[in-house]
Amino acid sequence: MYQLLLTKRYLTSKIMPLLAALAVALCTAMVIVVWSVMGGFLVMLINSGRTLSGDVSISWPITGFAHYEELIKRLEANPEIAAAAPVIETYGLIGLPDGRTETVSIKGIDGPSFSRVTGFEDTLYWRPINTPTEKDTTRADLRLGKHDLWKQLFEGGKRLVRTEVSKSDRKPIDRPAVVPGISVSGFNFREPWGFYPGLPFIRTTEGAKKPVDMFMLPVDGTVTLNVLPMDSKGRAIEMVARTFPVANEFHSGLYEIDHKTVFVQLGALQDMLKMNRAETIDRSGPTVVISDDPSKEEFVTPVVVSEAPARVTNVLVRSKRESYDTADADRLAVVVADIYREFAEAHAGKVPEPSSIRILTWVDQNRTMITAVKKETALVLFIFCFVSLTAVFLVLAIFWAMVSEKTRDIGVLRAVGASRSGVAGLWLLYGLAIGLVGSGIGFTLAYLVVTNINGIHEWLGQKLNLYIWDPRVYYFTRIPSQLDPTHVVIVLCGGLLASCLGALWPAARAARMNPVQALRFE
């Protein structure tokens, strides 16, 4: 009982212990805030990475594989799979309206099925909106007006078509179109309030200014894609170029994707890469005689005509599970592998063998990026935890001074019968109380900072012109943050442990004091 009474008295009557509690609070708050922001960044990065990749991918690059329609039917018949979609992935060049040519990743997709597997439809940027973004206080966002135009572009973007009026009969026709990333063109520069206002002109190769309608829809409204088809053995055939109108632009939230990716209609890319359904001619058969008259014998080689099925390089698969993690992805990959094995047996010799096909989860596809962020998070946490060790030494120094100051009190306690363990327990309990108070204050401070971090950042920008997280530099309009209960508990326990460790040596010193010498202490 005396331990609790003395702990309360020391805690409320001395300023030095409160300084120790403040150190624990600041260290606790610092680690929680850093872990929450880095953890939120990692979660947002993973979610953005999954947006356009599905949960599992069946891949055979460059030449692709056939009979993918049947494979998709087999996949969608499985109760664990919600949908599957064909995709062609290749690299090529894009010719932009201002004369520039950029290297891009080109993906041929079927818009509706691709949206069922991924979040493609949600990434389309140019769409009608009714309320401005949080930072758009002047309602300068172009999407707030011209709702008919934005609706038309949004619908066209979902199907990767551009609706135009025929010059002959004035009827609307749908042309296959492209949907590039929001940063592919270089025309879009995001403002500090988080949206893309577009540019009223583009600069040509001669240096002159050319007026444009808006963003990636200039006067002619087209870009040129250049791809290199390959034969079945991976040999280049010839460069193919085709001009497409721009239907919309997508915004995934990952700069590397939005800067270097262009979506185009699956059928159009199949045609450019010679991967569409076509007839093949085989002249390798033996020659035959077609005349009974020796003087008129003719030898010909029969021509065998067969149909080559269309091919794709990837089939993306989406799970039916709402909550999805790494373990779920691995389980789904096993299910997909079993389905592909049965599919390959049914088409033996016509599709890649199960042992050579690539079946990758979304984690496998983004492993390099995810691993890099995880390592950076671990490194930053290690540095801040190392810095937080100062709290241990500060508690030790303060408690060491307090033990010296309270030497006579310790002598009185020992003289009236307090044991060595009782005296040591008093100081350890005191350290625990410091840890509880400091950790509690630190958690409260961290909670207020994390939940209001964007408001604090906005205030710093407006009052002090200090934009630590400038949307024009970083690709997210808001600072990501996520308070993970597990992480909070770990940090709070660390604060308690640090306080107890700091009090351990002074507690041992107090316990070893001779009561007679302690009573004589001046």
For 124-143, write each residue's pLDDT tens digit. 988 888 877 766 667 767 77
| Whether residue 465 sits in one domain with residue 511 | yes
Distance, in Å, from the CA atom of 367 to the CA atom of 247, rounded to the nearest integer, reads 32
Query: Residue ranges of the alpha helices (H) in 95-195?
Result: 111-117, 120-123, 147-159
Tell me what the mean pLDDT of segment 334-338 comes to.
Answer: 93
Tell me what the mean pLDDT of segment 37-60 comes to.
Answer: 78
Residue in the structure block whose two tokens are 């958690």: 443
- Name which of 38, 67, 49, 35 is nearest 329 in CA terms: 49
- Name which of 340, 316, 258 is nearest 110 in CA terms: 316
pLDDT in tens, 265-284: 999 999 999 888 876 655 55
Tell me: pLDDT of 218 over 50: no
Residue 102 domain-assigned? Answer: no
Q: How is residue 284 annotated by DSSP?
A: -
Burial class (CB in 10 A: 0-12, 13-18, 19+), 485: exposed
* Higher pLDDT among residues 189 and 479, named by residue: 479
pLDDT in tens, 341-375: 999 999 988 899 998 899 988 777 777 777 777 78
| Whether residue 467 sits in one domain with residue 342 | no
pLDDT band (50, 70, 90) for residue 484: confident
Residue type for position 205 = T
Hey, CA dihedral for 20, 22, 25, 31, is it positive or negative? negative
As for how many domains the chain has, the answer is 2
Q: By mean pLDDT, which of 96-105, 163-172, 399-408, 410-419 is the weakest? A: 410-419
| Whether residue 404 sits in one domain with residue 511 | yes
| Whether residue 501 sits in one domain with residue 377 | yes
Q: Any residues with CB less than 8 A from the CB of 173 and at least 6 apart, and which?
A: 163, 164, 165, 166
| Whether residue 65 sits in one domain with residue 36 | no
Residue 157 domain-assigned? Answer: no
What is the enclosing helix (H) or strand (E) of 316?
Answer: strand 314-319
Tell me: pLDDT of 387 over 50: yes
Tokens, residue 283 = 């002249």
Q: Which domain holds residue 6?
A: 2-46+373-519
Do 159 and 263 meet the contact criterion of CB atoms below 8 Å apart? Answer: no
pLDDT the model gives residue 186: 72
Residue type for position 251 = H
**Phi, psi values for residue 281, rounded to 5°:** -115, 130
| Whether residue 386 sits in one domain with residue 352 | no
Distance, in Å, from the CA atom of 152 to the CA atom of 127, rounded to the nearest integer, reads 8
Residue in the structure block whose two tokens are 């990636």: 216
Residue 336 domain-assigned? Answer: yes
Tell me what the mean pLDDT of segment 417-434 comes to.
Answer: 72
Burial class (CB in 10 A: 0-12, 13-18, 19+), 457: middle
Cα→Cα distances 451→282, 439, 445, 456, 497, Å: 69, 18, 10, 10, 26
- Name which of 98, 107, 59 is nearest 273 in CA terms: 107
Tell me what the mean pLDDT of segment 459-476 comes to.
Answer: 65
